[in-house]
């Protein structure tokens, strides 16, 4: 039995989730661009963009609740809908990270500071790529790819480490720069957390396909040292 209308509704929601994913990718790319070019105007646009992103998340959530309430989803359909509730909340938080980077651009507006932009750009590029792959794996219910993506996190952690050291060096060279250096750390931290959240999306992709809730998080000693979460 096809349940044409029901399948169509789920399909539409999946499309919206992908769209939300695209919005997040764009927000991250633009936030890093704003930092690179010290473009405060662009940074402010990201704030506006984040409002749209949050609205989109709520409208998807509402659509999912309506389908659950009216269509009695079971098995894979139910796992998909429940997972999408989780995924959109992850995406929304990722949007907040992009907004956080835009905020740093604004705070550093008139500050002379050497920003490790090459590492930041690379980190953002990798994180966005991971996100993109994770959403593709989610749509295709590709368990194999979804389980592999979290391992790509290592390169990101490495870059975060470099950014961290750069910021510490800045602080040591001139303690007056401490606050601003801290902001640089925040940029790295946001991108690192963003990549971690991609892992949660991968876990959902596996759950939809197999019904198993697995922790795909790669053990990372550094995670335990985090004080900001």
Binding mask 13-32 for other proteins (x = CB under 8 A): --------------------
Supply the minimum distance, in Å, between the C-beta of residue 153 and other proteins: 37
Residue 228 interacting with other proteins (CB under 8 A): no
Nearer to other proteins, 3 or 165 (CB): 3
Nearer to other proteins, 2 or 228 (CB): 2
Supply the minimum distance, in Å, between the C-beta of residue 65 and other proteins: 6
Nearer to other proteins, 72 or 173 (CB): 72
SS (H, E, C) the chain: CCCHHHHHHHHHHHHHHHHHHHHHHHHHHHHHHHHHCCCHHHHHHHHHHHHHHHHHHHHHHHHHHHHHHHHCCCHHHHHHHHHHHHHHHHHHHHHHHHHHHHHHHHHCCCCCCCCCHHHHHHHHHHHHHHHHHHHHHHHHCCHHHHHHHHHHHHHHHHHHHHHHHHHHHHHHHCHHHHHHHHHHHHHHHHHHHHHHHHHHHHHHHHHHHHCCCCCCCCCCHHHHHCCCC
Near other proteins in 92-121, by CB under 8 A: none
Near other proteins in 37-76, by CB under 8 A: 62, 65-66, 69-72
Stretch that binds other proteins, among 1-9, 78-86, 87-95, 181-189 (CB under 8 A): 1-9
Nearer to other proteins, 72 or 169 (CB): 72
Nearer to other proteins, 1 or 75 (CB): 1
Residues within the interface to other proteins (CB under 8 A): 1-6, 62, 65-66, 69-72
């Amino acid at each position: 039995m096809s349940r044409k209308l029901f399948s169509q509704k789920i399909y539409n929601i999946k499309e919206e989730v992908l769209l939300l994913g695209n919005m997040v990718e764009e927000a991250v790319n633009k936030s890093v661009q704003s930092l690179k070019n010290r473009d405060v105007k662009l940074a402010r646009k990201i704030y506006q963009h984040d409002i749209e992103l949050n609205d989109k998340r709520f409208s998807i959530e509402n659509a999912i609740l309506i389908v659950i309430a009216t269509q009695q989803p079971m098995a894979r359909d139910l796992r998909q809908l429940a997972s999408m509730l989780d995924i959109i909340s992850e995406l929304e938080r990722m949007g907040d990270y992009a907004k956080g980077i835009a905020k740093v651009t604004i705070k550093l507006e008139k500050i002379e500071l050497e920003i490790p932009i090459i590492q930041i750009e690379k980190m953002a590029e990798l994180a966005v790529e991971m996100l993109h792959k994770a959403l593709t794996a989610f749509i295709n219910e590709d368990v194999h790819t979804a389980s592999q993506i979290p391992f790509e996190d290592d390169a990101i952690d490495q870059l975060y480490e470099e950014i961290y050291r750069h910021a510490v060096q800045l602080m040591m060279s001139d303690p007056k720069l401490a606050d601003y250096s801290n902001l640089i750390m925040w940029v790295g931290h946001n991108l690192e957390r963003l990549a971690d959240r991609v892992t949660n999306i991968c876990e959902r992709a596996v759950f939809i396909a197999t019904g198993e809730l697995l922790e795909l998080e790669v053990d990372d000693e550094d995670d335990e040292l985090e004080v900001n979460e």
